[in-house]
């Protein structure tokens, strides 16, 4: 009852966002064919716009592509890939000439590799991002007006004017928005205690946050036997790789389903997990491609909605695959699967082969006293395992681990185990499980 009142108030306060949500929801009723046809039309319109109004693309798209865009059909593979370096080097040239320069603001992302990247955004992009997030949450059964609690690691967002605005404190705005944010970059016992108590009091419908932050909260709740409220129907993990052991821990602690979501600040709402456990690509908002390069399935994403700063075939630095077939949840959106790795997360062996991070993540299955871990390659024949533990594992286990790495990867690989109080995060507060040598 209160939730529906909140939903109504929220709709009155944020009419633009809700109008966008309504439009996005309609797209879920399209057939796959209609969705993909529309995607092709949107791409051509985007490319025509970029070729005419965005200096970076005006200079780089050839005449044939511009002509094809004007005719309403573009082959995406004819378009150049946009690298992060190009975004860094040509930020001003990527802002459309017809963009409102008073409205245009600079956003920042730390990126999974810790390299900061700046991008343009405006209110329209922000509202569409939030509407897309609402639609994504609705895949869990959540409805507008029901409470969401965010655990967020990026400091810049948890301030007035940031992505999530105010934190903790309850004003009328917070009541209506039904959303609170906990700045979660310091996992002390005192903080974890306060956060779990807050979840109990606030009784949210959804939790949302970095996989590593939610894992810490889950681990604390289980260890301290803090009962989580039955109001919870879903936990949304974002921004970091979510592994199976984290998923299971959260499911046990919070007593509800765990959903993955995929997007970035510069291109939000790329894919959302449905109740059947499948990742659906938001094909009305993005065109996602996967290219097999150097043994890796590299994702390229095109934002179909961003005219202010077009991202076309943007090499986002994540890996994953597109999947054929339909999901019986009824969504027409195509399916994908996230890769475990991001670009710099590959460990290189002496003979040139590269090892996927999921191999290293699996090595520690069953090491239940480990709170956090991180594999860091220091040299072609040296790898560190950084551990934050309740109690160190027996030496025999470490020896077995070192032996297995020598057998599986490289007979000359040396393993060093380091015990730390905490594992430092990237600039944006993300945890990386595996860090390879710089490429
Ligand atoms: Zn589905």
Chain segment 269-324, per-residue pLDDT in tens = 999 999 999 999 999 999 999 998 766 788 999 999 999 999 999 998 888 899 99
Q: What is the pLDDT of residue 388?
A: 87
What percent of the chain stands above pLDDT 70?
A: 85
140 C-alpha to ligand 1 centroid (Å): 11
Domain positions in the chain:
346-435
388 C-alpha to ligand 1 centroid (Å): 36
Q: What is the pLDDT of residue 399?
A: 94
326 C-alpha to ligand 1 centroid (Å): 8
32 C-alpha to ligand 1 centroid (Å): 13
Separation between Cα atoms, residue 315 and residue 295, nearest integer Å? 16
148 C-alpha to ligand 1 centroid (Å): 22
Pairing of strands 286-293, 296-303: antiparallel
Structure tokens at 415: 């393993």
31 C-alpha to ligand 1 centroid (Å): 14
Separation between Cα atoms, residue 425 and residue 429, nearest integer Å? 5
Which CATH number fits the domain 346-435, given the four candidates 3.30.300.30, 3.40.50.620, 3.30.2310.20, 3.40.190.10? 3.30.300.30
Low-confidence ranges of the chain (pLDDT < 70): 1, 110-116, 153-177, 185-186, 294-295, 340-346, 352-353, 356-358, 361, 365-366, 368, 425-431, 439
299 C-alpha to ligand 1 centroid (Å): 20
Separation between Cα atoms, residue 124 and residue 307, nearest integer Å? 10
> In this structure, what DSSP letter does residue 51 have?
H
CB neighbourhood size of 233 (10 A): 18
Separation between Cα atoms, residue 366 and residue 405, nearest integer Å? 17
Q: What is the pLDDT of residue 423?
A: 80
Question: What is the average pLDDT value for the chain, to the nearest integer?
Answer: 86
Separation between Cα atoms, residue 62 and residue 92, nearest integer Å? 21
Pairing of strands 257-262, 271-273: antiparallel
**Ion ligand 1: residues, CB < 5 A:** 274, 276, 278, 327, 329, 331
Q: Are 303 and 311 in contact (CB under 8 A)?
A: yes
139 C-alpha to ligand 1 centroid (Å): 9
Q: Are 346 and 356 in contact (CB under 8 A)?
A: yes
Q: What is the pLDDT of residue 231?
A: 97
328 C-alpha to ligand 1 centroid (Å): 6
Structure tokens at 72: 């309403």
Q: What is the pLDDT of residue 153?
A: 64
- The enclosing H or E element of 36 equals helix 32-53
332 C-alpha to ligand 1 centroid (Å): 8
| Nearest C-alpha neighbor of 65 from the set 87, 82, 43, 91 | 43
273 C-alpha to ligand 1 centroid (Å): 7
């Amino acid at each position: 009852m209160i939730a529906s009142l909140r939903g109504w108030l929220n709709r009155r306060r944020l009419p633009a966002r809700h109008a966008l949500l309504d439009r996005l929801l309609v797209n879920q009723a399209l057939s796959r064919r209609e969705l993909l046809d529309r995607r092709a039309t949107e791409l051509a319109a985007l490319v025509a716009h970029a070729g005419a109004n965005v200096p970076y693309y005006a200079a780089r798209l050839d005449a044939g592509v511009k002509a094809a865009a004007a005719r309403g059909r573009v082959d995406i593979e004819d378009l150049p890939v946009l690298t992060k370096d190009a975004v860094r080097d040509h930020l001003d040239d990527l802002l459309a000439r017809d963009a409102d320069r008073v409205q245009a603001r600079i956003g920042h992302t730390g990126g999974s590799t810790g390299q900061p990247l700046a991008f343009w955004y405006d209110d329209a992009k922000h509202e569409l991002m939030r509407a897309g997030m609402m639609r994504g949450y609705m895949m869990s059964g959540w409805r507008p007006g029901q409470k969401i609690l965010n655990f967020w690691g990026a400091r810049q967002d948890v301030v007035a004017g940031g992505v999530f605005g105010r934190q903790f404190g309850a004003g009328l705005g917070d009541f209506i928005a039904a959303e609170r944010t906990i700045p979660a970059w310091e996992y002390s016992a005192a903080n974890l205690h306060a956060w779990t108590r807050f979840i109990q009091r606030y009784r949210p419908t959804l939790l949302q946050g970095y996989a590593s932050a939610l894992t810490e909260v889950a681990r604390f709740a289980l260890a301290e036997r803090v009962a989580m409220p039955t109001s919870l129907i879903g936990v949304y993990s974002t921004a970091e790789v979510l592994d199976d052991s984290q998923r299971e821990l959260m499911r046990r602690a919070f007593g509800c389903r765990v959903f993955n979501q995929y997007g970035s600040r510069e291109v939000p709402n790329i894919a959302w997990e449905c109740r059947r456990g499948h990742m659906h690509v938001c094909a009305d908002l993005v065109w996602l491609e996967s290219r097999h390069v150097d043994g890796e399935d590299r994702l390229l994403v095109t934002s179909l909605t961003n005219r202010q700063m077009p991202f076309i075939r943007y090499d986002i630095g994540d890996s994953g695959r597109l999947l054929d077939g339909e999901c019986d949840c009824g969504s027409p959106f195509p399916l994908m699967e996230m890769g475990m790795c991001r670009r710099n997360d590959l460990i290189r062996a002496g003979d040139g082969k590269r090892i996927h991070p999921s191999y290293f993540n699996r090595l520690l299955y069953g090491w239940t006293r480990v709170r956090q871990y991180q594999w860091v390659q220091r040299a072609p024949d040296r790898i560190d395992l950084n551990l934050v533990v309740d109690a160190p594992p027996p030496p025999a286990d470490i020896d077995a681990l070192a032996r297995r790495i020598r057998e599986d990867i490289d007979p000359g690989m040396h393993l060093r185990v380091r015990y730390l109080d905490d594992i430092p995060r990237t600039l944006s507060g993300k945890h990386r499980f595996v860090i390879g040598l710089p490429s």
